[in-house]
Amino acid sequence: MEQVAAGPMLLSLVQQLSRDEGLLRAWALAGEGAASSRPESVVLADARLALVQACARVEAVAAAVKAELVASAYGQITTATAEAVPDAARGGGAEASARAEMALALRMTERGTAAMVDGALLLTTRHPGTRWLLTEGHLSPAHARVIVDEASVLADEDVPALEAAVLRRAPERTVSELRRDVRRAVAKLDPRGAAERHAAAVQQRSVRVTPLPDGMAEIRALLTADEAQVVCGALDRIARDLPTADRGFGARAGSRADALVAVCSVLLDPTADGDFLPALTRTAAPVAVQVQISAATLLGLAEDPAHLVGHGPIPADLGRLLASDGTWQLAITDPEGRLLDLHRLRYQPTAAQRARVTALWLHCGHPTCSVPASRCDVDHTVPFNHEAPGTGDPDDPGGGHTTCRNLCPRCRLHHNLKTWWGWTTTLLPDGTIAHRTPLGRVYEARPEPQPCAA
């Protein structure tokens, strides 16, 4: 299926296979070698997943064609309108008329149409590399939108450098991973602009309440990235001590809500029982937030963006400011992104191991997962054998040894996939972790260069 070019022929093939169960079975089993031991149900499931992948490629090609048509149609409608209605050529009337014309034809709002047109124009005029990958089915429309939207703050002359920095790996990245990559590249290409945009954004800090259906309301706080990390860390700490806290899987967001209500209630009601909120008083273990910054930027010799773990790139000035605060956890890297040092690791030796592993991986070690490593379990890649523990030798058959090389952060969901639900992990010689799925597919994950690498 991957050998078929994305286009009408691939779409026709997918349609035939999806509608004819016998044809799908014959196609799937024909691709299995005689020595294959996979059950037929697994083979057929894998084949259907391949059809979904093929549909995604066709969708990408259609999005590229649509963008080209939107851009050309907008230009031609604008020109035709200006020629037919001379007054429309002044004050942007022809452009507004063209957007209104397209909005009615596509049954879209004019705001949505304007966004569609702007995106199509940027893609077709400023992003030749992104456009090519989309046309070939290597990027999804969502990936292309991320690149176009995040790069909109750059000057035209900086866009080729941006594409050179992010496109090589873009087909392997999730949308959220690609967004982090692009934001980091934008901040590095335009550090002065990043600092100016941050300063302007700080002036927009706010807290707003929006009524919602079903007796609910949303509180939206717009804060600086470091302030948001402190707030969430404090709410997590308070939530752990609430007597009614739900310890179940996936309860973090609800527990934070409970903690926010509890702390505000205590502050407003002097008679309320606040004994279960020890985090209201300052302790010797403040909320730990990790900032990564290159040694050159820390010393003021460069203006590369720093990296706030759990958020992404931040301006160099803010990174230096946070690094000077002893309550933060700081990781310094060399130009290649290797960790040079760890500061204020307030743990016993086993906690220091965890700090090293989470600083190395940054996120859950499962491919495509973006859960911050600080919120993950630290798990053995090669399972630890409790009956015959390893001695520290990587080849020891007694079981996986407890070393930083064999430890990897995994969020609870992906930890459970590995422990209980049929996924296996293999540690390769270069430190890459191979994940084998129940369908027999293998996906690799490895620690990425630290975000502050040159």
Q: What is the pLDDT, as a whole number, of residue 338?
A: 54
Which residues are CB-contacts of 191 (< 8 A; sequence separation ≥ 6)? 303, 304, 305, 315, 316
Q: How far is CA 65 from CA 118, 344, 450, in A?
A: 15, 53, 37
Which residue ranges in the chain fall short of pLDDT 50? 245-250, 279, 282-285, 287, 326-328, 340-349, 390-392, 394-398
Buried b (16+ CB within 10 A) or exposed e, 271-293: eeebeebebeeeeeebbbbbbbb
> If DSSP codes are grouped into helix, strand and coil, which group holds residue 210?
strand
Looking only at the bridges linking them, the beta strands covering 407-410 and 377-380 are antiparallel
Measured at the CA of 344, the angle between CA 378 and CA 300, to 5 degrees, comes to 115
363-390 pLDDT per residue, tens: 888 988 888 888 888 888 877 765 555 4
Nearest CA-CA partner of 163 in 185, 190, 145, 187: 185
DSSP string, 266-334: HHH-TTS--TT-GGGS--SSPPP-EEEEEHHHHTTS----EEETTTEEE-HHHHHHHHT-TTSEEEEE-
What pTM did the predictor assign? 0.70
- Bridge partner residues of 220 (DSSP): 208
**Contact present, 72 and 120 (Cβ < 8 Å):** no
**Contact present, 250 and 264 (Cβ < 8 Å):** no
Which uninterrupted H or E stretch holds 118? helix 110-126
Which residues are CB-contacts of 47 (< 8 A; sequence separation ≥ 6)? 17, 24, 27, 28, 31
Give residue for tokens 């399972």. Answer: 383
213-257 pLDDT per residue, tens: 888 899 999 998 888 888 888 888 787 777 654 444 345 556 888
Rounded to 5 degrees, φ, ψ at 372 are -55, 140
Q: What is the pLDDT, as a whole number, of residue 245?
A: 46
* Helical axes 316-323 vs 191-202, angle rounded to 10°: 70
Q: Is the dihedral of CA 386, 389, 390, 391 positive or negative?
A: positive
Distance CA 268, CA 449 (A): 47
Which residues are CB-contacts of 103 (< 8 A; sequence separation ≥ 6)? 109, 110, 112, 113
Q: What is the pLDDT, as a whole number, of residue 355?
A: 79
> If DSSP codes are grouped into helix, strand and coil, which group holds residue 222?
strand
Count how many residues are written for the chain.
454
Q: Which two tokens stand for residue 438?
A: 């129940």
Distance CA 373, CA 365 (A): 8
Q: How far is CA 436 from CA 238, 366, 417, 424, in A?
A: 38, 11, 11, 5
- 113 class by beta-carbon count within 10 Å (0-12 exposed, 13-18 middle, 19+ buried): buried
Q: How far is CA 381 from CA 14, 114, 248, 374, 392, in A?
A: 37, 49, 24, 17, 14
Q: What is the pLDDT, as a whole number, of residue 299?
A: 65
Distance CA 410, CA 417 (A): 10
| Chain centre distance of CA 375 | 15
| Chain centre distance of CA 327 | 27
Q: What is the pLDDT, as a whole number, of residue 291?
A: 72
